[in-house]
């Protein structure tokens, strides 16, 4: 290992954190967010919901189990949530330059360099996270030889950058035909449907699929401000009118709320981890969930035909909504997990039950 280049993460308020580079040496700017999960760095990095963001991992030791190979099972890479890294950069406290795992084929550093993703370690991630919690999520930049302007990814429609280019069909002879509106879908959402013998029709975020034959719609996770996704919201409104069974996940929860006439807002620093407790409203049943979102539904703005379904135990924010009469349901967390606990995976079965009614 040669001498590492010293470089800084600079926040928009002027705060600077100096560290060392172990990824690609390229200047980058984006929204700085933190994830408090203990594992799952390669799943998180390939999650399209991190598009435009500089990801800070609070767990102190990162890289010790390396990165698995890109083996494919069916249509999808076995261990990743998309075919490439979507986070703009990675910031950690202590990077392990040696890794050991039966499934690893390369180091995290080599993988980041291959995909031209900058990464810093020896950053005081505890101090950085405390600042983001106190001041709120901020823009930041990592500067090598060329300076860059601060970039706010939430000012553009990011889902157009991560959505599939044209429709694709998986498990064509499956029992139920499910359209997945791809706003940056994680592969494990598609796997979860295929495992339940669904034929999955994956369509672009602005694609008009309403003339096709299908049984239900899943609205996927994705990056950015949901209010930027006007074309997708318009499509969801048309689905409401046809009373089509719908299941929204993460960004899908926010888009459904907006289509119903409710409001969304930006959280101070978001929820990103695999240990978020969510209570089913009206019960004492709590689920531990995997989450990655910076916006939330304003519960009080829900129209009278809608009701809150889940809420976050930590801050009482909305974690799901459903229609009181029609087959529309959504959750803010990730029932497909990957990484994270499997407590809420049953919600895919709940959705498919709506189709049978």
State yes or no: is 250 an active-site residue. yes
Is residue 21 within 8 Å of residue 29, measured between CB atoms? Answer: no
Per-residue pLDDT for 42 more than 70?
yes
pTM exceeds 0.95, yes or no: yes
Question: Which range marks the domain in which residue 134 is found?
Answer: 6-155
CA distance 206 to 209: 9
**Which tens digit of pLDDT belongs to each residue from 237-291?**
999 999 999 999 999 999 999 999 999 999 999 999 999 999 999 999 999 999 9
174 lies in some domain: yes
CATH of the domain at 86: 3.50.30.20
Answer with the one of 128, 155, 182 that is the final residue of a domain. Answer: 155
Structurally, the chain folds into a number of domains equal to 2
Same domain, 267 and 303: yes
Q: Is 211 a catalytic residue?
A: no
- CB contact set of 174 (below 8 Å; sequence gap of 6+): 194, 197, 198, 199, 200
Over residues 101-149, the pLDDT tens digits come to: 999 999 999 999 999 999 999 999 999 999 999 999 999 999 998 999 9
- The CA distances from residue 103 to 32, 169, 210, in Å, are 30, 29, 42
List the structure tokens of 28. Answer: 């980058």
In-domain check, residue 1? no
Active-site position among 160, 250, 278, 337? 250
From the list 183, 319, 336, 337, the catalytic residue is: 336
Query: Last residue of a domain, which of 155, 176, 202?
Result: 155
Residue of 79, 293, 334, 337 marked active site: 334
């Amino acid at each position: 290992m040669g001498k590492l280049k010293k470089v800084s993460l600079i926040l928009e308020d002027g705060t600077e954190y100096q560290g060392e580079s172990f990824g690609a040496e390229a200047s980058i700017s984006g929204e700085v967010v933190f994830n408090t999960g203990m594992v799952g760095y390669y799943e998180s990095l390939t999650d399209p919901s991190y598009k435009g963001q500089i990801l800070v991992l609070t767990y102190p030791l990162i890289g010790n189990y390396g990165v698995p190979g890109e083996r494919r099972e069916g249509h999808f890479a076995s261990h990743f949530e998309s075919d490439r890294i979507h986070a703009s950069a990675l910031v950690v406290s202590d990077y392990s330059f040696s890794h050991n795992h039966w499934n690893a084929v390369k180091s995290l550093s080599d993988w980041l360099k291959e995909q031209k993703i900058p990464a810093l370690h020896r950053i005081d991630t505890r101090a950085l996270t405390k600042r983001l919690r106190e001041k709120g999520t901020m823009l930041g930049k990592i500067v090598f030889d060329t300076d860059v302007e601060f970039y706010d990814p939430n000012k553009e429609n990011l889902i157009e950058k991560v959505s599939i280019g044209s429709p694709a069909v998986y498990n064509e002879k499956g029992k139920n035909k499910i359209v997945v509106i791809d706003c940056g879908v994680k592969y494990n959402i598609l796997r979860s449907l295929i495992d339940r013998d669904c034929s999955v029709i994956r369509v672009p975020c602005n694609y008009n699929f309403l003339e096709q034959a299908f049984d239900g719609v899943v609205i996927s996770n994705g990056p950015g401000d949901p209010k930027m996704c006007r074309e997708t919201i318009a499509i969801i409104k048309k689905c409401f009118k046809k009373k089509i069974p719908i299941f929204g996940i993460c960004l899908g929860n926010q888009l459904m709320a907006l289509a119903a006439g409710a409001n969304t807002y930006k959280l101070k620093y978001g929820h990103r981890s695999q240990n978020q407790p969510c209570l089913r409203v009206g019960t004492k049943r709590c689920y531990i969930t995997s989450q990655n979102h910076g916006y939330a539904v304003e519960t009080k703005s829900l129209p009278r035909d809608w009701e809150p379904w889940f809420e976050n135990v930590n801050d009482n924010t909305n974690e799901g909504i459903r229609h009181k009469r029609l087959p529309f349901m959504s959750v803010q967390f990730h029932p497909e997990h990957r990484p994270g606990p499997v407590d809420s995976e049953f919600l895919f079965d709940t959705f498919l039950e709506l189709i049978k009614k």
